Chain A
Amino acid sequence: MADRGMATGGRGLTEGDVADTAPDWTDAGAARGRTSHASRARRFVADAARTTWHDASLWGVRAKRDAAAAQVPDWETLREDAASTKRDALARLPELWRRFEERASAAGAQVHWARDAREHNEIVARLLRDRHVSRVVKSKSMLTEECGLNPFLEARGIEVVDTDLGERIVQLRHEPPSHIVMPAIHLRRQEVGALFAREMGSAPGLEDPDALTAVARRDLRGRFLAAEAGITGVNFAVAESGAIVVVTNEGNADLGTALPPLHIACVGLEKIVPETRDLAPLLRLLARSATGQAITTYTSHFRGPRPLPGSELHVVVVDNGRSRLLARPDFEEALACIRCGACLNTCPVYRRSGGHSYATTVPGPIGSVLAPARDPGAHADLPRACSLCGSCSEVCPVKVPLHRQLLAWRGVLADEGHVPRHRRAALAFLSALMLRPTTYHVLARVARSLARRLPAPILDRLAAPWTRTRALPPIPAQSFREQMRARRRRREQEHRP
């Protein structure tokens, strides 16, 4: 678990292309080869056994989260605290970032500003090139995923090694992470074993997680020792002290910054908090919400470079659509997200459709809120890939009203023309009918009567999307209203003199 940089990048996995060829990472790619979330999800659930396993794995994480929350007596107050901290910060980002810049600079860090992904990538590439760096270790950062940093650096001859085990696995498979905290949660151990046999020369058939992790540890230890720079994300930036906080369980962000002289930390504009003490509620919630741990193994606070000659700390602050989201009152609260992934774990749709079905850097409920802000045309179906059960909003440690935002997006996207016209026309007809009770009840009666007479196969075909997987209910002869009218008439007759 490391930085959960906000992301809205469109990562398209096209049908029939799951692992062996590199998917097109860009929004344009997503738009070109576009299939809907529904069709990708259909492919996922078609493998019933894998769906059962994927659902159970993530439900297990949700259960651990519940148990961890139960260990904290003032859990709901902590959520209030964290939610108000993040909203307070969002309400005064300019002054907080000015203060951060001043304090971090005073501590010897250099602060850079990037309007978009390209500027971010260019700043990082320039820092590396100027120092003749060719080997970089990177700890998990959803922001650098969002910006497509790896391919950008690789195209410039710089080797980037993702060091989080899950990230390393998906990097070697040339696919995006399917989860923001557990990047390889979609893979079975056999698949990891086969990958390591191919890429790291481990024994074929090896599938014990302990043994596979040991293989990766050996391989990556050498890369840590040889690295000339470390890139990390940032979980929290603290305005008061100019510090950045990075959390991991593996210690990969720490090894990647303790050994090489150059540390580049990439941070989204929404990651800042006002004061040091604000970290307490946020950190008490983060790991418990994410994995059910009380706290991650490593929670590192960097303020300035290492006190060794030649050491540097650069902080790259990235907008990339965040200020645009901040300008939308309906959706700005999504910027409070601390990337714990709890909404993914609890989402009944995510668990049964897999992270790749969202075709975005950040999948699941929070991803479905963020993605349309960046490219409404490419991601208009995501806010509808939700049954509005509301579980996401309940687990969110910073109380982002996720399901309300998903509902709000549906209206906005329909108005912006991203819903098929025939679908809107059908709803227009139905709502007009509902405003005219007499016509509605006559038509409904006719429809019921027809449905009762039609042969089942024909009726099934007419009700197709429903009946593909479900039986229709028996259709009653009389509606409740009709029965009430009949009853009233009976009573009137009885009382007639």
Chain B
Amino acid sequence: MSGARDAIFAALEAARSVRVAARVRAPSPALPADPVAMLRERVAQAGGRLQALTRPGSLDEVEWPAPLDTLHHVYSAHPALASRGVGLATTDVHALAALELCVLRAELAVVESGAVWHVPRSPGERAAALLAEHLVVVVPDSGLVATLHGVYERIRLDRIAFGWLLCGPSKTADIEQALVLGAHGPRSFRLVLEPD
């Protein structure tokens, strides 16, 4: 519909404001004195939990939402844990509905809000993060940034097809403002900090 396109651009040109807005830019704050403490608090406020590991490369210390040996369907992007059950069949996103646990590796965690920046490795991984009952996101210690300014300074949005900030379990407060975890997606969320 190029007619509509041309008409819209003509209308926008005609309405173009002569005022030039002076840009103000808020500073990108530095990390707070105790970033892990603040991150822990903000993840908790978002309905999640933070756990800082002491050893790199291993997930042995992680307090899983359920004993690992009771879980049949796991998707894991972390080399220390193998996928199993439908977690292996990532070509059919619908099959992932049975997932019990999804483990992601993310680049960055935002201390101010408790959000992580994650770029799924595949459409299957993206679906897994939504369909699993429990979500665990592993972020390296070096991935802490103070605020979203730090995220957008580091990422290249023009090089990816999809990326997201995740913060806590899926939630809603649409019934009388009562907070309910697990609206559509994961019911629990753990952020795991892994030493570099």
User: CB atoms of A and B under 8 A apart anywhere in the complex?
Assistant: yes
Residues of A within 8 A of B (CB): 57, 60-61, 71-74, 77-78, 80-81, 83-85, 87-88, 90-94, 97-98, 103, 107-108, 112-115, 119, 123, 163-166, 169, 182-185, 187-189, 192, 209-210, 212-214, 217, 220-221, 224-225, 238, 240-243, 249-252, 254-255, 258-259, 269, 276-277, 279-281, 283-284, 291, 293-308, 311, 317, 319, 323-324, 326-327, 329, 332
| Min C-beta distance of A142 to chain B, whole Å | 15
Q: Which residues of B contact A220 (CB under 8 A)?
A: 184
| Min C-beta distance of B55 to chain A, whole Å | 30
Chain B, 155-183, CB within 8 A of any chain A CB: 155, 157-158, 160-178, 180, 182-183
Closest to B160 in A: A303
- Whether B148 and A163, one on each chain, are in contact in the complex, defined by CB atoms closer than 8 angstroms, is no
- Whether A306 and B24, one on each chain, are in contact in the complex, defined by CB atoms closer than 8 angstroms, is no
- Whether B127 and A303, one on each chain, are in contact in the complex, defined by CB atoms closer than 8 angstroms, is no
Closest 8 A-B residue pairs measured CB to CB? A166-B174, A294-B113, A251-B185, A323-B11, A87-B21, A250-B183, A327-B15, A209-B178
13 A-B contacts, Cβ less than 8 Å apart?
A81-B25, A81-B26, A87-B21, A92-B16, A169-B175, A209-B180, A250-B184, A251-B130, A251-B183, A293-B45, A294-B112, A300-B163, A323-B8
Chain B, 23-75, CB within 8 A of any chain A CB: 23-29, 42, 45-46
| Min C-beta distance of B43 to chain A, whole Å | 10
Q: Which residues of B contact A57 (CB under 8 A)?
A: 176-177
| Min C-beta distance of B137 to chain A, whole Å | 12
- Whether A297 and B15, one on each chain, are in contact in the complex, defined by CB atoms closer than 8 angstroms, is no
| Min C-beta distance of A272 to chain B, whole Å | 11
Number of A-B residue pairs, CB cutoff 8 Å, is 263
CA distance A399 to B67 in the complex (A): 50
- Whether A91 and B20, one on each chain, are in contact in the complex, defined by CB atoms closer than 8 angstroms, is yes
- Whether A251 and B164, one on each chain, are in contact in the complex, defined by CB atoms closer than 8 angstroms, is no
- Whether B11 and A284, one on each chain, are in contact in the complex, defined by CB atoms closer than 8 angstroms, is no
Q: Which residues of A contact B29 (CB under 8 A)?
A: 73-74
Residues of B within 8 A of A (CB): 1, 4-5, 7-9, 11-17, 19-29, 42, 45-46, 93-94, 97, 110, 112-115, 122-123, 126-127, 130-131, 147-149, 151-153, 155, 157-158, 160-178, 180, 182-186
| Min C-beta distance of B181 to chain A, whole Å | 9
Q: With A209-B178, A332-B15 given, can you name 13 additional A-B contacts, CB distance below 8 Å?
A: A91-B17, A108-B161, A113-B8, A115-B7, A192-B175, A259-B93, A280-B28, A280-B152, A294-B113, A294-B167, A295-B113, A299-B165, A305-B161
Question: Among B13, B130, B178, which residue has the most Cβ atoms of chain A within 10 A?
Answer: B130
CA distance A225 to B98 in the complex (A): 12
Q: Which residues of A contact B45 (CB under 8 A)?
A: 293-294
CA distance A284 to B150 in the complex (A): 12
- Whether B167 and A258, one on each chain, are in contact in the complex, defined by CB atoms closer than 8 angstroms, is no
- Whether A81 and B174, one on each chain, are in contact in the complex, defined by CB atoms closer than 8 angstroms, is no
Give which listed residue, B4, B8, B26, contacts A74 with CB less than 8 A: B26
Given contacts A184-B174, A280-B147, contact A319 B158 (CB under 8 A): no
Given contacts A74-B29, A81-B25, A254-B164, contact A297 B46 (CB under 8 A): yes
Give which listed residue, B9, B127, B160, B175, contacts A259 with CB less than 8 A: B127
- Whether B184 and A189, one on each chain, are in contact in the complex, defined by CB atoms closer than 8 angstroms, is no
CA distance A243 to B165 in the complex (A): 14
Question: Among B26, B164, B174, B182, which residue has the most Cβ atoms of chain A within 10 A?
Answer: B174
CA distance A276 to B148 in the complex (A): 11
CA distance A308 to B93 in the complex (A): 11
Q: Which residues of B contact A332 (CB under 8 A)?
A: 15, 17
Give which listed residue, A255, A295, A323, contacts B165 with CB less than 8 A: A295
- Whether B97 and A225, one on each chain, are in contact in the complex, defined by CB atoms closer than 8 angstroms, is yes
Q: Which residues of B contact A80 (CB under 8 A)?
A: 24, 26
| Min C-beta distance of A451 to chain B, whole Å | 47
Give which listed residue, B15, B127, B157, B160, contacts A323 with CB less than 8 A: B15
- Whether A209 and B11, one on each chain, are in contact in the complex, defined by CB atoms closer than 8 angstroms, is no
- Whether A296 and B167, one on each chain, are in contact in the complex, defined by CB atoms closer than 8 angstroms, is yes
Given contacts A57-B177, A217-B183, contact A326 B12 (CB under 8 A): yes
CA distance A72 to B111 in the complex (A): 12
CA distance A189 to B175 in the complex (A): 6
- Whether A113 and B5, one on each chain, are in contact in the complex, defined by CB atoms closer than 8 angstroms, is yes
Given contacts A277-B152, A280-B152, A295-B113, contact A94 B161 (CB under 8 A): no
CA distance A108 to B12 in the complex (A): 25
Q: Which residues of B contact A243 (CB under 8 A)?
A: 157-158
CA distance A307 to B161 in the complex (A): 8
CA distance A284 to B167 in the complex (A): 13
CA distance A241 to B163 in the complex (A): 13
